[in-house]
Structure 1
Amino acid sequence: MITIASRHSCRIQAFGTVQGVGFRYGTLFLAKKLDITGTVENLPDESVLILAQGSEDALLTFIARLEKGPTRAANVTHLVISWENGSVSTTDFTII
């Protein structure tokens, strides 16, 4: 089990064809598979914002999979990633 001290947090903004293509649901499935908590939501500028918390290895795997797109229909042009101090205030991963 991952302890609070070993969890890391990051903010990921995905750009490209990421809305209306199942990106959030694919992200939810991937996060649950990797034991990552947080949220995913569409933004008005047609990007998607992900707040994620998990082990460093899980987050690095998560980011690598997001770069390829969590669904076939998604076309991620780039991700903007910032590592955060503190924790995401959720014990699950949810779509907003």
Structure 2
Amino acid sequence: MALKSIEFSVHGVVQGVGFRYFVKGIARSEGLVGWVKNSPDGHVEGMAQGDAAAIEKMKKELALGPPHARVSKFKIKSETTVERAQFSSFDIVH
């Protein structure tokens, strides 16, 4: 079964508001694998891989963010189909 893979960035008030943990929670509940991290210039970036429907749900959630975040821009840097996932879990990386 082919899987979807996305690389994303989220800008706005997204650091110091639990955004990475929000992303990790969605990914784990949807069975996605990958990573998320804070970038040095103040946005959050990451990669998620898994079922296409789960990826679509994650994209919608990323555009909204958790209650204390203020998303000003959500960008998909790349979206591809992959034969198998590169990761075995979804993690916050530094």
- Partner of residue 75 from structure 2, selected from 76, 80, 84: 80
Q: Percent identity?
A: 32
- Partner of residue 9 from structure 1, selected from 5, 23, 26: 5
What RMSD, in angstroms, separates the aligned Cα atoms of the two structures? 1.3
Q: Normalising to structure 2: TM-score of the pair? A: 0.89
Closer, same or farther in 2 for the Cα pair 1:88/1:40, shift >3 Å?
farther
CA deviations over 1:44-84 (Å, ceiling 9, x no partner) = 11011110001111101100011110x21111111110213
Q: Normalising to structure 1: TM-score of the pair? A: 0.88
Higher strand share: 2
Query: What 5-or-longer segments of structure 1 have no aligned partner?
Result: none
Query: What 5-or-longer segments of structure 2 have no aligned partner?
Result: none
CA distance in 1, matches of 2:40, 2:86: 23
